Structure 1
Amino acid sequence: MNELDRKLNEIFTGYVVRKDLVKLVRGNAAVPSYVLEYLLGQNCATDDEEQIAAGVERVRDILAKHYVQRAEAGAIRSDIKQSGYMRVIDKVSVMLNEKRDAYEATFENLGISRVLVDSDTVKRNRRLLVSGVWCVADIGYSPNEAKDESPYLLQQLKPIQMARFDLDGYIEKRTRFTVDEWLDVIIRSIGLDPEQLGKRSKLFQLTRLVTYCERNYNLIELGPKGTGKSHVFSEFSPHGILISGGEVTPAKLFVNNSTGRIGLVGYWDCVAFDEFAGVNKRPKADIVDILKNYMANKSFSRGIEQVTAEASMAFVGNTSHDVAYMINQTDLFEDLPKVYHDPAFIDRIHAYIPGWEVDIIRGEMFCTDYGFIVDYLAEALRSLRGLDYSGQLWERFELSETLSTRDRDGVMKTYSGLMKLLFPGKNATIEEEAEIIEFALEMRKRVKDQLYRIDETFARVDFSYREIGGQWREVSTLEEINFPNTYHSRDKVPWERRDAEEPLLSMDDASVPENPDLQLSQSAIVSKADEGPFVGHKSYRENQRGVSYEKLFGPYLEGARSIEIIDPYIRTFHQCRNLMEVLEVIITHFDYCVPEIHVHLLTCPDQYDPVKQDDYLCQIADALHPFGLTLEWDFDDTNTIHARHFVIDDKWDILLDRGLDIWQKFDSGNAFAIESRVQEMRMVKQFEITYMKL
């Protein structure tokens, strides 16, 4: 176990589980992850390997004996008749039979129905009345001659979820973790390895969870296939439901006029629509109108009475084109059915997750370390759902007065949800809170910017914020940064640059003005100086493209003879590959009239495999020496190097806060992957760089 594993097991004893165990016990059981982790939590919530192994066997035994496979339903019904009793794990739904004045249960996999359920059980578990709940049930058998009665008897029923949750204890224990540790714990808990994700990608995953801890939150995520868009809505929580196919009737979703029964929005914390996109889909107009009213006002009416509900709405679907095509030709909502490609519907969406920035799920991205039992985290989010953290924003910050009411609501809800997830004790620093506000503004701005393309009646607003009494900081979407020339080209609402001397950030020049009052991540830049290379500070957003070592260092290398690279992390294969790519840039600027160019590297030894590290450096030196580049290196055995420098001929000192390791993970082993051949196509980590003349 690593340090975070030990910390989790010590502080949250009994509520954590090793995430790879789900795969070990699942087998061919088609049950959600929260069901399996519920069983694992009862049997394997420990760090003792022997107890874990024994617990896994118990869970396998429970599933083998009690989980109902559809193909074996007939044999299990026979076993119940022969023995008179059996415990089963199945999905159970309940309906009220008015003629009998009784509640009747249906067991989905077992294939039995009209099983009598007492009123107290239904009262304690009202979700049984809508779409069903996974349960552990004890079923007996008593033959009878009545045609309208089932011979099966429900002796006991227990939904698979936690009975109690201590919110105060959860909040207190959260304070023992740093924000980065806590963020990794949540990412682990939903089944992903945080080491494979950048900070921005982790925030996207957290935004999906806001639907569970924030009432009436409207979220959309459109992007390529295979990015796990629907995972947290189908596998994460017993309090959410995923509607496959993206279509549902008004009676099922809102209220059945014939029976008066409230639909899904009255019983679930989150209702998610899978495969929501598709221009050829033809949803009924009546549900669209009710949905728009509900998303705006938290209430709905089907002609009988006004009903309020608290369910959040999540819409996920695949895009048919890449982001460049959508920005240059259509809009980011192009794949929605026509009735949903409507400004009135789109304006009610609080946040848009750019699915094209979310990695396609690969095998190595799944977590094998410890995380919360998902049922425990689901109960934590449900307990936080009744609290409102949005008012905390006004204690330190203010938003632009030009934001519309819906813009403000969207920002506030995203902010409140992320604060609940990361800082349930409301103990964020002002810098941490500013990061969440900026992210929330971007999520809503992505929606508003598309409305400018679709409907000319919208007025432009300023997505900016500031500390009370401080300087205003303007927020831009990453698409606005990556496509500065076309991002606003199709807008129906007139658009003008704020300041001709501060154009929007382009992919060729991601610098930031030398203005200490301006947030580093903003999209204003300094005009290129005519007299030579840029001097000053630049900042790059996470997942930004269009960056290369040539653009970062090339203008400073002409005529260079001696270069000093100070970077403590030139150790592993990919870090040495980064060094090789930088040296390739250096050699393209090498004047062959001079005997040689000398590069000296100061780094730290790899504590795990120093021999391989030295071998990599030797191979690099041997490969470049015939071309006039001499590479030498020294190791700082004290491991005290922190600042990263790129010093050129005692003329330029280039400070790199991340060193050379600026790239997000990509498939470097695939010779046909464009990212492996063209650096500008790679996504970067967030980093800053400062150019100083010596």
Structure 2
Amino acid sequence: MSEEAAVLDLDKKLNQYFAGRVVRKDLTKLIKEGANVPVYVLEYLLGMYCATDDEESIREGIERVKKILADNFVRPDEAEKIKSKIRELGQYSIIDKVTVKLNPKLDVYEAEFSNLGLKGVPIPSNFVKEYDKLLVGGIWSMVKIDYFYDEEVRNINPFSVSNLKPIQLPNMDINEIFEGRKHFTKDEWIDVLIRSVGMEPTQLEERVKWHLLLRLVPLVENNYNMCELGPRGTGKSHVYKEISPNSILVSGGQTTVANLFYNMSTRKIGLVGLWDCVAFDEVAGIKFKDKDGIQIMKDYMASGSFARGKEEKNASASMVFVGNINQSVDVLLKTSHLFAPFPDEMANDTAFFDRMHYYLPGWEIPKMRPEFFTDKYGFIVDYVAEFFREMRKRSFSDAIDRYFKLGNNLNQRDTIAVRKTVSGLVKLIYPNGEYVKEDIEEILKYALEGRRRVKEQLKKIGGMEFYDIMFSYIDKETLLEEYVSVPEQGGGKLIPEGIGKPGHVYVVGQSDSGMIGVYKLENQVVSGTGKFEKSGVGSHRGAKESLDTAFRYFAANCKSISNSISTKTKDYLMHISDLQGIGLTGELAVAELIGLCSGALDKPVLESTVVIGNMTVGGTISKVEELANVLQVCVDAGAKKVLIPALSAVDFQTVPSDLLVKVQPIFYADPIDAVFKALGVN
């Protein structure tokens, strides 16, 4: 079947199984540009009058919707004109957002109109019973208002509601979704969801579709913390602003504890208690006026509760952080970490970032262009929003357990994060719970990747505490363990491919902070009197001593390597670069000895090679601590070969198999053996 035919077939299916619940998305764009009404109101009207695939009926429907909006939609600046119209005609229909409260003194329900500006308007109780959302947050409705002024009876509102019809879904039958889902394949259903948020799936790569689905997870999963950083213009905040009446976008980032969590003076809960999802636009600007703001936020992100005053409050709102990355991802990965755009008070707070369940790679989503917006059928936005809201009451976090076990590198926080992501994606793609092992495996891999991206950055910020990043899952049937990696770790390598210059050598070692870093040693040999000059070392004692050890060993043993090396008629200049900016290491002696010999012999080190291990001035080689972590850093940096002390061979059983296949180990027994092997001399 051609792509065109498949699209038409999907449109037919939607109109067949979800009649009146779908709308052609280009119609929304047509009218939205001229009317300042929420998308969900507009699409409800379009769903009533244009939910068909007959062109003639659609044209008539559009005219009708335009007329309804022109005649009945209340613009705030025309409120007085509409009130006058109601008075003069005695009765008039309007479209506005209606909220209802009970007035216990008079024992009547009273309506408040958002744009019309009327309050205390009596409304019959049968509407309130039928549409209980009127009492919680209000509903956009088509309302018939009567006007009757009785001179005899004072203090009675002359306005009253005689009829009310919601133009948002007042309630929904979730079984309709469960039943309808059975008629669609997985790929068709994903396309339907993506069209429902206004995008055209046939123009998007498979991976981008998954990213767009993940943006919806905070709307279906309670207390889900997600972060998306990427270039401008990729639609990061669109979903949270336009698509759901249940989420709020905090623009500008400035907020208070009272606004977000709990106001002590009014005793009212903040945004996290009123909305399903609170999204922060532009993370770089997040600022709390209160000192304890970030602490309370961390508490809430970890447990879904926070303490204010004497009591503890619970809420279920998800937290989403979106922002822009101004540099390329390669540059950020080399010089800093992917959480760098966050404000300074958060940027080095590992406890805050550890609470993120997923890091969505915004740089993989293309900038929005006209062809990415769909003109095919999708669910009415309000219908989707109600479906999402209903799914928050369910959980699929145990979906993994039937088929898989998580690997031992995942701690409790990692496990919670992965389970939440899996649960959210299952709710979206398999809401009726009908899935097979392969379906869960696909979701699980994607969930592990996003949490590992968080962990990779924590490793860069917090060092050894976060070194267990080898995320994996185990198939319960076959007991095979699969490892999941992060795509961007492969790009922008610190160690470039190709042969380097003579005297240049890469080394990986542990810094004072406990983090494992990548360093470049550049040696130059010039005419002189046998001096050894170092730059880039600063006041690091360990690095200085290690480099001096190398030069002393070199001076004493260079003739064993080659008679052509002279230490009396040459000066040796050395510069060290800390490629990740984490502080120098004292494990440089073997690498520097190789660098000195490489420079003196004018012979480059083998391509993409890293040296690990250290030695004493007498040439005794020391064993490498934490070999698996050190090798992981070598692989992440782009090494293809690693020179390893023979002593460390016994520790290879601690190294995961997927790491071993990525790098070629070259064992050396003593310093001179290391030099020969590094320079490729047999």
Q: Distance in 2 between matches of 1:45 and 1:70?
A: 29
- Aligned residues with identical type, % of pairs: 45
Partner of 2:474: 466
Partner of 2:216: 209
RMSD between aligned alpha carbons? 3.6
Query: Once the 2 structures are TM-superposed, how far is the Cα of residue 105 of structure 1 from its aligned partner?
Result: 5.3
Identify the match of residue 303 of structure 1 among 302, 309, 323: 309
Partner of 1:649: none
Contact 2:282 2:323 in 1 (8 A): yes
Residues 502 and 215 of structure 1: is their aligned pair in 2 closer, same or farther, counting only changes over 3 Å? closer
Q: Distance in 2 between matches of 1:438 and 1:186?
A: 21
Partner of 2:61: 55
Q: Distance in 1 between matches of 2:56 and 2:457?
A: 55
Opposite residue 177 of structure 2, the aligned amino acid is Y
Matches within 5 A, 1:380-459: 380-456=387-463, 458-459=465-466
Task: Please tell me whether residue 4 in structure 1 is matched to residue 10 in structure 2.
Answer: yes
Contact 2:455 2:466 in 1 (8 A): no
Q: Distance in 2 between matches of 1:218 and 1:484?
A: 30
Q: Distance in 2 between matches of 1:363 and 1:149?
A: 53
Which secondary structure state, in structure 1, belongs to the residue aligned with residue 433 of structure 2? coil
Identify the match of residue 200 of structure 2 among 193, 204, 213: 193
Partner of 1:476: 485
Residue by residue over 1:555-598, the C-alpha shift from the partner in whole angstroms, topping out at 9 and shown as x without a partner, is xxxxxxxxxxxxxxxxxxxxxxxxxxxxxxxxxxxxxxxxxxxx
Contact 2:222 2:276 in 1 (8 A): yes
Opposite residue 293 of structure 1, the aligned amino acid is D
Query: Once the 2 structures are TM-superposed, how far is the Cα of residue 351 of structure 1 from its aligned partner?
Result: 0.8
Contact 1:43 1:56 in 2 (8 A): yes
Q: Distance in 1 between matches of 2:373 and 2:284?
A: 27
Residue by residue over 1:250-274, the C-alpha shift from the partner in whole angstroms, topping out at 9 and shown as x without a partner, is 3333333333333332232222222
* Larger helix share, 1 or 2: 2
Query: Once the 2 structures are TM-superposed, how far is the Cα of residue 206 of structure 1 from its aligned partner?
Result: 0.5
Identify the match of residue 184 of structure 2 among 177, 182, 190: 177
Q: Distance in 1 between matches of 2:147 and 2:106?
A: 20
Identify the match of residue 285 of structure 1 among 279, 288, 291: 291
Residue by residue over 1:425-481, the C-alpha shift from the partner in whole angstroms, topping out at 9 and shown as x without a partner, is 333332332121111011111112212222247332231112114322211112212
Identify the match of residue 29 of structure 1 among 31, 35, 59: 35
Contact 1:251 1:263 in 2 (8 A): yes
Partner of 1:168: 175
Opposite residue 24 of structure 2, the aligned amino acid is R
Structure 1: unaligned runs, 5 residues or longer: 510-521, 530-694
Opposite residue 297 of structure 1, the aligned amino acid is S
Partner of 1:621: none
Residue by residue over 1:184-223, the C-alpha shift from the partner in whole angstroms, topping out at 9 and shown as x without a partner, is 1111111100011111111111111111211111111122
Q: Distance in 2 between matches of 1:229 and 1:396?
A: 33
Opposite residue 363 of structure 1, the aligned amino acid is P
Partner of 1:262: 269
Contact 1:114 1:149 in 2 (8 A): no
Residue by residue over 1:590-619, the C-alpha shift from the partner in whole angstroms, topping out at 9 and shown as x without a partner, is xxxxxxxxxxxxxxxxxxxxxxxxxxxxxx
Contact 1:73 1:109 in 2 (8 A): yes
Query: Once the 2 structures are TM-superposed, how far is the Cα of residue 380 of structure 1 from its aligned partner?
Result: 2.1
Opposite residue 254 of structure 1, the aligned amino acid is F
Matches within 5 A, 1:462-541: 462-468=470-476, 469-485=478-494, 490=580, 504=635
- Kindly name which structure, 1 or 2, has the bigger radius of gyration based on alpha carbons: 2
Contact 2:399 2:422 in 1 (8 A): no
Opposite residue 43 of structure 2, the aligned amino acid is E
Query: Once the 2 structures are TM-superposed, how far is the Cα of residue 336 of structure 1 from its aligned partner?
Result: 1.7
Query: Once the 2 structures are TM-superposed, how far is the Cα of residue 294 of structure 1 from its aligned partner?
Result: 1.6
Structure 2: unaligned runs, 5 residues or longer: 1-6, 496-515, 519-579, 584-624, 641-657, 666-682
Which secondary structure state, in structure 2, belongs to the residue aligned with residue 483 of structure 1? coil
Query: Once the 2 structures are TM-superposed, how far is the Cα of residue 171 of structure 1 from its aligned partner?
Result: 2.0
Which secondary structure state, in structure 2, belongs to the residue aligned with residue 177 of structure 1? coil
Contact 1:501 1:527 in 2 (8 A): no
Residues 126 and 289 of structure 1: is their aligned pair in 2 closer, same or farther, counting only changes over 3 Å? farther
Aligned residues between the structures: 517
Query: Once the 2 structures are TM-superposed, how far is the Cα of residue 411 of structure 1 from its aligned partner?
Result: 0.6
Query: Once the 2 structures are TM-superposed, how far is the Cα of residue 101 of structure 1 from its aligned partner?
Result: 9.4
Residue by residue over 1:345-373, the C-alpha shift from the partner in whole angstroms, topping out at 9 and shown as x without a partner, is 21111111111111111111100111112
TM-score, scaled to structure 1: 0.67
Task: Please tell me whether residue 294 in structure 1 is matched to residue 304 in structure 2.
Answer: no
Contact 2:23 2:51 in 1 (8 A): yes
Query: Once the 2 structures are TM-superposed, how far is the Cα of residue 135 of structure 1 from its aligned partner?
Result: 3.5
Opposite residue 318 of structure 2, the aligned amino acid is S
Which secondary structure state, in structure 2, belongs to the residue aligned with residue 398 of structure 1? strand
Task: Please tell me whether residue 369 in structure 1 is matched to residue 406 in structure 2.
Answer: no
Query: Once the 2 structures are TM-superposed, how far is the Cα of residue 491 of structure 1 from its aligned partner?
Result: 8.5
Opposite residue 482 of structure 1, the aligned amino acid is G
Contact 1:481 1:523 in 2 (8 A): no
